Amino acid sequence: MKKYILLASALFIGVFTSEAQEKSYNINFINLESGINLSQFDFSDSEITAFKNGSFSPSQHQALSLGFNLKGDLNLELGAAYDKYQVIGKPIDMTSSHLSYDLNYVSASLGLEYSFPVQDKVSLLLNGGMAYNYLLSGFQNMGSVTYDLADSDFEDNTYSFSVGAGLLYQMTDATGIYLKYDWRNTMDMKEAEKANESYKLTSYVYSVGVRFNLAN
């Protein structure tokens, strides 16, 4: 599945590059955003219940993206982000100790955004895309004991897709502010010792950002 996503991404980038050479696309806007994400693991094995109905812990999200106008209100977005994930499971013993993970990722993304004007200065934003995610550091916590995931076969590289929506308020011709929600899901992740089991990291991201328009 991952190789098909990479192939589709390569084809999309190739088509965009070719179009850009012909039409001289310029950067339409720059987004700077900050927010929180709430995350959980989804396991393919229904018997694994440690993270079902676990607690959500708000974690840091930071992102930068560049927007290129394709046609009308449709834009291509290229982005980079840093995300911290704190995934907390249910209590694992009588002392209410938890199994949890602390994960730090950087990512590069490619996506599309469509803008629907709602009022004079307000637009509805709909977006979707895919991303490559690299694990900077990660730790598994079991009560008071912590394990470095660098010493395990936890996957360093993952691919994810996302869909989202937001509202953009254009304060001036050059600057706007937006509120956005994104739902993200990774492709199946596996550990070598448990080849028959897979899991996904699902995130709900709430962010606020500033958009600098460069096309005016």
Q: Any idea which of 48-52, 64-68, 156-160, 198-202 has the lowest mean pLDDT?
A: 48-52
* 44 band by pLDDT with thresholds 50, 70 and 90: low
For domain 26-213, give the fold. Porin (2.40.160)
What CA dihedral angle connects 156, 160, 166 and 168, to 10 degrees? 70
Residue ranges of domains in the chain: 26-213
* 2 band by pLDDT with thresholds 50, 70 and 90: very low
Q: Any idea which of 88-92, 169-173, 200-204, 207-211 has the lowest mean pLDDT?
A: 88-92
Amino acid identity, position 66:
L
pLDDT at 165: 97
CB atoms within 10 A of CB 35: 20
Cα 80 to Cα 131: distance, rounded to the nearest angstrom:
9
pLDDT digits (tens, 9 = 90+) for 5-34: 444 544 554 555 455 444 545 789 999 999
- Judge whether 109 and 49 are in contact, CB under 8 Å: no
pLDDT at 91: 66
Closest Cα to residue 139, out of 129, 150, 131, 128?
150
Cα 209 to Cα 66: distance, rounded to the nearest angstrom:
13
pLDDT digits (tens, 9 = 90+) for 146-203: 888 888 878 888 999 999 999 999 999 999 999 999 999 988 777 655 556 677 888 9
CA angle in degrees (0–180, nearest 5) for 55-58-60: 145
Compute the residue count for the chain: 216
> Residue 59: beta bridge partners?
37
pTM above threshold 0.85: no
Q: Which residues of 161-193 are buried (b: 16+ CB within 10 A; e: fewer)?
A: bbebebebebeeeeebebbbebebebbebeeee
- The residue ranges of DSSP E strands in the chain, in sequence order, are 27-43, 59-71, 74-91, 98-117, 122-142, 145-148, 157-170, 175-186, 189-191, 194-213
